Amino acid sequence: MVTTINGACVLVTGADGFIGSHLVERLVAAGAKVRAFAFYNSNGSFGWLDDLEPEVLDAVDVRLGDVRDQRFVETAIRGVDVVFHLAALVGIPYSYIAPESFVATNVLGTLHVLEAARRHDVAKIVQTSTSEVYGTPETLPIDERHPLRAQSPYSASKIAADKLCESYALSFDVPVVTLRPFNTYGPRQSARAVIPAILRPMLAGEQRIPVGSLHPRRDLTFVSDTVEGFVRIATADLAPGEMVQIGTGTSLSVAQIFELCREVVGTDAEPLIEEQRVRPSKSEVLELRCDASRAREVLGWQPRTTPAEGVRLTAEWLHDRPARRVAEYQV
C-alpha cells in the first residue's frame, strides 16, 4: 500500500491531456517522482504538458508512446509505485464514427496497463472512469450502486475498461481502484467541451453562440478538485476493485451554464441552436448528478471551487490564448 505521494515514483498515462497535465503539476508539487506518458506525435509535442512552467516540466520524465503498444506500456511501468491511468479517447461524437478506435485505446490500452502492472508488482493503479457510464439515470443523485448503461460507444468502452479492472482485482488481486469523476472543466479542456465552446466566442465578442441542446444537465467539478480526488484515492486504504465517484452534488443545465458564462464575461450574447451539435435522442444523457458521500467518507474529499469561480478562472485562461482550430465531427 502507498501511504504518501511524497517520494513515490508515479506514472501518469494520458499526461498530455487536460486532467493529466494538471495531475502531473500536482504530483510534482507533492514531491513525487513523475514519469509522464504522452501520446507519440511526429512534431515531438508534449500536448498540454508544454503549458507547464519550465521548472515543473524539467522535473518530469516525459515518454512519448501509445497505450495500445503493449511493449511500450511495459517499459513505461517498470519500476513505478503508482500508476494513474488516464489515457483514453474521450470525444463522444467521435465515438459514433470511429468506435473501433475507442475500443483499441480505452479497452485494449487498459488491459496493457493491468498486465504490465501485474507483472511488475505495482503497489497501486488508479483507473479513470466517467459518469457517462451511467447513461440517463434511473434515480438521482447517482451513487456507486447505480446500474451502468452504455448510451454511446465511448461509454461502452469505459464500462468495459472499468470491468476489466474489476476482474483483475478479483481474479489476480491486482491493486487497482477506480476513480469516477463527474464532468470536469477548467483550463486546458478541449475546445469542444461545453464551457470553452461557449466562452471562446463570447470572449471574442460574438453575439450568437452556437450550442446544441440547452436541456441536458451536468454535475461540474473544477479540475483542481478532480485532481485532488486522484491524489487522495492513490493513498487511501481501499480494497482492490473498489470504486469511488466524485462530484459536487449539483447539476446545471446547458442553459444555466450559458447564463453563468454570460455573467462572467459580461455579455448579452444569445444561444444559437445548431442541430449538428445535438446528440442522437437515444444517446443523449439527460442528467448527471453525483452522490459524493462515499468520497467524503473514505477519501475526505469535497469540492472547493464554486461554478462561478471555476468559470471565471477558465475564462481568464482562455482570454490571452489564441483559438485552436476545431474540426467538425461528421455525425
Give a yes or no: residue 55 inside a domain. yes
Beta strands in 108-249 (DSSP E): 124-128, 176-181, 183-185, 208-211, 217-218, 220-222, 243-246
Compute CA 144 distance to the chain's CA centroid, rounded to the nearest angstrom.
18
CATH number, position 213: 3.90.25.10
**Model pLDDT, residue 328:** 54
The reply to whether 137 and 199 lie within a common domain is no
Give the residue-averaged pLDDT of 182-187: 97
What is the distance between the alpha carbons of residues 216 and 132, in angstroms, rounded to a whole number? 13
Rg (CA), the chain: 19
The reply to whether 151 and 270 lie within a common domain is no
The reply to whether 32 and 94 lie within a common domain is yes
Question: What percent of the chain clears pLDDT 70, i.e. is strictly above it?
Answer: 95
All three cell numbers of 265: 464575461
Of 131, 125, 132, 137, which Cα lies nearest the Cα of 166?
125
Structure confidence by residue, pLDDT tens digits, 99-146 = 999 999 999 999 999 999 999 999 999 999 999 999 999 999 999 999
Amino acid letter, 205 = G
The reply to whether 208 and 155 lie within a common domain is no
The reply to whether 94 and 114 lie within a common domain is yes
All three cell numbers of 157: 468502452
**Model pLDDT, residue 329:** 45
**Model pLDDT, residue 321:** 81
**Model pLDDT, residue 320:** 80
Q: How many other C-beta atoms are found inside a 10 Å radius of the C-beta of residue 121?
A: 9
Give the residue-averaged pLDDT of 30-48: 95
CATH number, position 18: 3.40.50.720
pLDDT value at 303 more than 80 = yes
**Model pLDDT, residue 330:** 44
Alpha helices in 244-306 (DSSP H): 254-265, 293-298
All three cell numbers of 74: 511495459
What is the distance between the alpha carbons of residues 104 and 210, in angstroms, rounded to a whole number? 32
Measured CA distances, 274 to 209, 281, 287 (Å): 10, 15, 20
All three cell numbers of 104: 483499441
Give the residue-averaged pLDDT of 225-245: 98
Asked whether the bond before 141 is cis by omega within 30 degrees of 0, the reply is yes
pLDDT value at 331 more than 50 = no
The reply to whether 149 and 266 lie within a common domain is no
Number of independent structural domains in the chain = 2
The reply to whether 113 and 207 lie within a common domain is no
pLDDT value at 65 more than 60 = yes
Beta strands in the chain (DSSP E): 9-13, 33-39, 60-65, 82-85, 124-128, 176-181, 183-185, 208-211, 217-218, 220-222, 243-246, 252-253, 270-273
Amino acid letter, 249 = G
Grid coordinates 454570460 are at which residue? 262
- The domain of 202 spans 194-218+250-291+302-319
pLDDT value at 277 more than 70 = no
The reply to whether 273 and 213 lie within a common domain is yes
Between 323 and 134, name the one with better pLDDT.
Answer: 134
Contact 212, 253 (CB under 8 A): no
Of 105, 129, 113, 106, which Cα lies nearest the Cα of 11?
113
pLDDT value at 295 more than 60 = yes
Structure confidence by residue, pLDDT tens digits, 283-294 = 778 899 999 999
Question: What percent of the chain clears pLDDT 90, i.e. is strictly above it?
Answer: 87
